[in-house]
Amino acid sequence: MTEAVAPRKGRPRSADADVAILAATRAALAELGWGGVTMGDVAVRAGVAKTTLYRRWPSKNELVVDAVAVLFDELEMADLGSLRADIESVVRQFADLLARPESQAALLALFAEASRDPALRRRVREAIIHPQKRLVHQGRAAAQARGELAPDASPEAADADVDIIFDTIAGTVEHRMLVSGECADPEWISRFTTLLLTPLTALPQNPAGSV
């Protein structure tokens, strides 16, 4: 029981407002891009006073993280029976997500802000990075259960493997779509999956087998 439900006094915060504000933020983001999002504008779209925004989020940055974070909740690692299928599936989901204008406008800007604001970085990590890393853990465990991957040598090695795979998948897809500005069509996804799969399934005696 995390929330002791402390029956606080005074008028409770409107739950509707939260929903309306986050939706308005995403809408503004998709329409105007990061720089175009204005607290005043979001407030108007949400039918809410600017003060209400500031009462709940200390600044534009944290608001946008929260507004965008939910988009990542839809990512999931479905066990499709093979490591290749699982990887292709999650890459495709991520590519689809990055094809949406609100993600596109938000993600890099968010990372940019986070790179010099420790509090925001922490929030981004909790709301976005960690949930995504979980997917890699799941896929890896499933592949181990199927015998496609060797069992963990040690917890530390497992974490290092997850980290490098996660950074490779996330970084590469983001770079292709948001920086190089090219799409991630099925063909590219297949090629990229092969690139990932080859070292993962390489002979275990290869010292790099555990990447």
Partner DNA sequence: CAATAACCGAGACGGTACGTCGAGTCTTTGG
Partner DNA sequence: CCAAAGACTCGACGTACCGTCTCGGTTATTG
92 touches DNA (CB under 7 A): no
Quote the least distance from Cβ 103 to DNA, whole Å: 20
211 touches a second copy (CB under 8 A): yes
Is residue 112 packed enough to be buried (19+ CB in 10 Å), middle (13-18) or exposed (0-12)? exposed
Quote the least distance from Cβ 129 to a second copy, whole Å: 7
- Cβ proximity to DNA, 54 vs 166, nearer residue: 54
Is residue 147 packed enough to be buried (19+ CB in 10 Å), middle (13-18) or exposed (0-12)? exposed
Quote the least distance from Cβ 167 to a second copy, whole Å: 4
- Cβ proximity to a second copy, 3 vs 156, nearer residue: 156
178 touches a second copy (CB under 8 A): yes
Q: Which stretch binds a second copy (CB under 8 A): 20-28, 68-76, 89-97, 191-199?
A: 191-199
Rounded CA separation 55/48 (Å): 12
Among positions 44-103, residues that touch a second copy (CB under 8 A) are none
User: What are the residues binding DNA (CB under 7 A)?
Assistant: 7-14, 17, 37-41, 47-52, 54-56, 58-61
User: What are the residues binding a second copy (CB under 8 A)?
Assistant: 33-35, 104-105, 108-109, 111-116, 121, 124-125, 129, 160, 163-164, 166-168, 170-176, 178-182, 188, 191-192, 194-199, 202, 206, 208, 211
